[in-house]
Amino acid sequence: MSDEEESQLTDKEKIEIAKWFLLNSPVGEIQYVAKDVKEVLKDERVYRIAAAEVFPLYNKSHMICLEFPDRSGEVLVTSFNEIDKNEYFDPRSAQVAIVDHLKQVCTDARPANDDELPSSYIEEYRCAFDAEIIKYVSEAYPKGICCVYCTNGKDMEGPGSSFEFVVVISAARLSPQNFCNGSWRSIWTVEFKDDIQLVEVRGKLQVGAHYFEEGNVQLDAKLECRDSTMFQSPDDCAVSLTNIIRHHETEYLNSLQTSYSKLPDTTFKDLRRKLPVTRTLFPWHNTLQFSLTRDIQKNLGLENSE
């Protein structure tokens, strides 16, 4: 067997490589990456196999937001409201969106079935919580999208049983014409434990940014946190839980902003030689002339964070 034959990739290997590139696309850029992957593969069948597997995973992990065909509202694509491989429940409108993952559009919608809807008792808690989260997100994240889903115990008819909600918050600022994109994603699992009258909260926060003008700089920062509060009435629980989420997210954003402010004196210095081959010293005394830090902050909407 010749060296050329030995170096030939099998279709399975090509699919795995294509899946890796697609799945690791920065926020809002999978369609650009898909176009390049398709061009490199030059094999429509192999590309379609890879894309069919990756696009649903990518869309759910990035919690993309799609508009209903009649423009009556929006639906988030997540693993928490997935009914079928292309059906996603929107609790606010009581509709199920039919999604084309490859095109990233909502093609149709249907009314939710009775067994897909939570009980009136659960919905009272969910609606109160959802209303408070909407107010918080509208204040904290420009163009942010959020929703509260019941992921366990949706058929509970009254006090005496435990149930679980998941809060998802997704915010993206895409500016490919300026070579930068950024996103915020947070997932909060909220367990209402009736037996001990306690609500336990677990959060997973993730910030992503991509700056690619004459280079390729990416940020992927993550944080996990825990908290709890007393099991109270729907309205009181909603306020208390939203305050917990606001507190942890604000602290994390502030810590990121502090880290960015220290970039010129720490990370950037470590990336460059003390005396480069040009024999010209880097102007550390005037790093503000370089826009990378400002662009990343602007891209994530952190420049005015408190």
DSSP code of 151?
A: E
Tens digit of each residue's pLDDT (9 = 90 or more) over 25-40: 999 999 999 999 999 9
pLDDT at 226 over 50: yes
CB 15 within 8 A of CB 22: no
CB 164 within 8 A of CB 151: yes
Cα distance between residue 208 and residue 181, in whole Å: 8
The residue with greater pLDDT, 264 or 40, is 40
Would you state the pLDDT for residue 85?
A: 86
Q: Is-above-0.85 flag for pTM?
A: no
pLDDT at 304 over 80: no
Would you state the pLDDT for residue 143?
A: 84
Mean pLDDT, rounded, for 77-97: 95
226 lies in a domain? yes
Residue 145 and residue 102 in one domain: no
Would you state the pLDDT for residue 154?
A: 93
pLDDT at 295 over 90: no
Q: Which of 43, 26, 57, 66 is nearest to 175 (CA)?
A: 26
Tens digit of each residue's pLDDT (9 = 90 or more) over 135-190: 999 999 988 999 999 999 999 998 988 999 999 999 998 888 888 999 999 999 99
156 lies in a domain? yes
The residue with greater pLDDT, 163 or 306, is 163
Q: Which of 306, 189, 185, 163 is nearest to 241 (CA)?
A: 189
CATH number at residue 20: 3.30.1140.60
pLDDT at 107 over 70: yes
pLDDT at 280 over 90: no
pLDDT at 265 over 90: no
Q: Which of 57, 91, 54, 56 is nearest to 74 (CA)?
A: 91
Would you state the pLDDT for residue 299?
A: 61
Residue 171 and residue 89 in one domain: no
Residue 166 and residue 203 in one domain: yes
Burial class (CB in 10 A: 0-12, 13-18, 19+), 241: buried
State in Å, rounded, how far the first CA of the chain is from the last one. 65
76 lies in a domain? yes
Residue 106 and residue 124 in one domain: no
The residue with greater pLDDT, 137 or 270, is 137
Which range among 30-44, 99-113, 228-242, 265-279 shows the weakest confidence by mean pLDDT?
265-279
Tens digit of each residue's pLDDT (9 = 90 or more) over 167-176: 999 999 888 8
The residue with greater pLDDT, 306 or 93, is 93
Would you state the pLDDT for residue 6?
A: 42
Domain range for residue 13? 7-61
Strand partners, 276: none
Residue 123 and residue 187 in one domain: yes
Residue 127 and residue 69 in one domain: no
For the chain, the domain total comes to 3
Last residue of a domain, one of 61, 81, 97: 61
Residue 148 and residue 250 in one domain: yes
